[in-house]
Every structure is written in structure tokens, then in C-alpha cells.
Amino acid sequence: MKRTWFLKLLFLAAFLGCGKGVVQSQVLVYEDFVPSARFIYLKERFFYAQIHTAGFTIGYEQGHLNSRFNYMGWNIEFATQLDYRAKAVNWYGSGRRYKFGMLNSFCILRAGYGGLWTLNEKPYWGGVKVSLSYRGGFSLGLAFPQYINVLYDTAGQDVRLERMDPENPRHRDVAYILERGPILKGLSGMRPYPGIFLKVGMDFEFGKSEERSHTLGFGIIYDCYFTRIPLMMDQKNPFGFLNFYIEYKFGKRHEAR
């Protein structure tokens, strides 16, 4: 009889011990389990807007995944390039303001290729994906001459529309410059400046959706041209421009597998 009770107690202890181990193992399994993303999207396209140290940029990009964590694609964009040395002037208090001493206004068209190298993948429940962004390609600078209305008599009857010229002494004195000429007038004197560009930055993609892309980026971009860009009178004109930027991108992924 005693032996029977002893066997029953031994069996009960073993059963409770095994049950406790099963519960613990189940808890460990569920704690360690992290479900993967439901889909892997192979292609992506998006638009972006950028504010940089000398103006703004708008652009479009599309590309594809060449591995689980790397993305490659091409982009096109339009950017303005303002010169901080050019100061707006309105000597007579009326009429259109002009940039005194500015020979040309400048904007940029870029076409490039590059990619993203993922440094930290976004968790399945949301969060932030961190990537190194790099681009390079062709940069076409466009210089538009500034036209001004210049006084040639004290009565104000002889007013001539002229292109800003450092050799003309009247263009060096604000007392002779009445106002800026029509902006479209500069189109006739537009001159292209071919070059190259390089862009490097950090991208932070946020949000829970894998299909939609929202990204905030920071970085630097450098445009280099084969000749100096004539921007200002009596100033050493540059071969290129270095800018720091803040960028917001939004787009959509497609072709899931």
C-alpha cells in the first residue's frame, strides 16, 4: 500500500515538472518569434522636395531592389542656386527689385543614378529604417542674364533695357538703375554649363506601411562644372557649388513577391 502511494506521488511530481517545462518552453518560443514582412516589394517610385543652403529642389526617382537590403535607381530633378552675395535693391522705392551686381541667375537640371545601402532594417511593427544614400551623374547648369532698366538722362525720358554689364559705369551705380527688366527677357541669353554632381546623405524612412514610403533625409550635394560660372561683378566666380540639404520623399512600392 505504501509503495502504491509512493508511485502515485512520484508520477504526480514528474507530471507537474514536465508541464512547467512545457509552459516555460512555450513562453520562450513566443517571446523569441518575430514575424517577417508579409511582402518584399521589388520596385519603388517617389517624388521628393528639398530645401538646401542656396535654394530648393524638386525631383522624381524610381528604382528596384537588387538584394534584400540594397536599392538602386535613377533620378531627375530641378534645383535653384541663389548667390548669397547678391542683395536685392530698390533705390527709387518703386518698380521691380533687382540684384545689384548679379550678372546671371542660375538653376540646375540633374540626371543621376545611385542607391540606398540599408544600415538598420525597419521592424515589422513599424519604426525607422536607416539607410546611406548616394547619387551621382550629370548636372546641367543654366545661366540667365539679368536685365535692368537704366536711366540715361535726369528727366527720366531716356530709359534703356540693358543686360547687366560690368564694363558699363552706369551699371555700377544704383542711382542710374531704375528697376529690373522682365524675367523672360533673360531666356534669350541663356547659356548652358555642363558638369557633374555627387550627393551623399542619410535617409530615415518611417511609418508602418511597407507599400507606402515616407522618408526624411539629410546630406550634402556638390555640383562641379568645367568652366567658371559668371554670377557676380568683381567677384571670383566658382567652378561649382557645395550645399547642405534637408529632404522629404514620399512614394509607393509595387511588384511584391
In a domain, 16, yes or no: no
In a domain, 144, yes or no: yes
In a domain, 3, yes or no: no
| Range of the structural domain that residue 156 is part of | 42-256
In a domain, 204, yes or no: yes
Sign of CA dihedral 132, 138, 140, 141: positive
In a domain, 11, yes or no: no
CATH number of the domain that 243 lies in? Answer: 2.40.160.20
Number of structural domains in the chain: 1
Assessment of whether the complete model's pTM goes beyond 0.75 = yes
pLDDT in tens, the chain (257 residues): 545 555 555 555 555 554 444 444 444 444 444 445 555 667 888 999 999 999 999 999 998 887 766 889 999 999 999 887 777 787 776 778 888 889 999 999 999 999 988 888 876 666 788 999 999 999 999 999 999 999 888 777 889 999 999 899 999 888 888 888 888 888 888 999 999 999 999 999 887 767 777 899 999 999 999 999 999 988 888 999 999 999 999 988 766 66
DSSP state of 102: B
Strand segments (E) across the chain: 41-52, 55-65, 70-80, 87-89, 98-100, 104-120, 128-145, 147-151, 159-163, 177-180, 191-206, 212-225, 240-256
